[in-house]
């Protein structure tokens, strides 16, 4: 069965630190890759997505993610986090008509 693994359930960083959240998936075919974010008290919303082409994709608020096909990974990065990045981040992998979700990573940024 297809699965999505997010390595860390909780991450705590200080402002200005660099961020990398891991995401690995198990599926050998063509995939679409997503990162969604849920800020406190808000709805889940799209952060960025990859379909094809340049494996480095840029999203909102300075986030980027790199698709490494050989590693089945789609890690999320931000060079310098802000307090407002405190949120829960979900990686999701789409194949055929289905979207499979990771368990999420709660990110807390200390001011």
What residue ranges bind other proteins (CB under 8 A)? 4, 9, 31-32, 43-46, 49, 51, 90, 92, 94-99, 101-104
- CA-to-CA distance for 110 and 22, rounded, in angstroms? 20
Minimum CB distance to other proteins smaller for 16 or for 99: 99
Q: What would you report as the CA-atom Rg of the chain, rounded to the nearest whole angstrom?
A: 13
Minimum CB distance to other proteins smaller for 14 or for 26: 26
HEC-encoded secondary structure of 26-51: ECCCCCEEEEEEECCCCCEEEEEEEC
Q: How far is the CB of 110 from other proteins (least distance, A)?
A: 22
Q: How far is the CB of 43 from other proteins (least distance, A)?
A: 5
HSE-CB for 40 with a 13 A CA cutoff: 8
Closest alpha carbon to 63 in 107, 93, 29: 107
Q: How far is the CB of 62 from other proteins (least distance, A)?
A: 19
Q: How far is the CB of 4 from other proteins (least distance, A)?
A: 7
Minimum CB distance to other proteins smaller for 26 or for 96: 96
Minimum CB distance to other proteins smaller for 77 or for 106: 106
CB 76 within 8 A of CB 47: yes
């Amino acid at each position: 069965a297809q699965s999505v693994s997010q390595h860390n359930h909780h991450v705590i960083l200080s402002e200005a630190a660099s961020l990398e959240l891991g995401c690995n998936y198990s599926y050998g075919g063509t995939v679409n890759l997503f990162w969604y974010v849920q800020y406190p008290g808000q709805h889940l919303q799209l952060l960025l997505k990859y379909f094809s082409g340049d494996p480095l994709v840029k999203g909102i608020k300075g986030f980027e993610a790199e698709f490494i096909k050989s590693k089945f990974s789609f890690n999320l990065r931000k060079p310098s986090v802000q307090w407002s990045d405190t949120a829960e981040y979900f990686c999701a992998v789409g194949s055929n008509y289905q979207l499979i979700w990771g368990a999420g990573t709660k990110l807390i940024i200390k001011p």
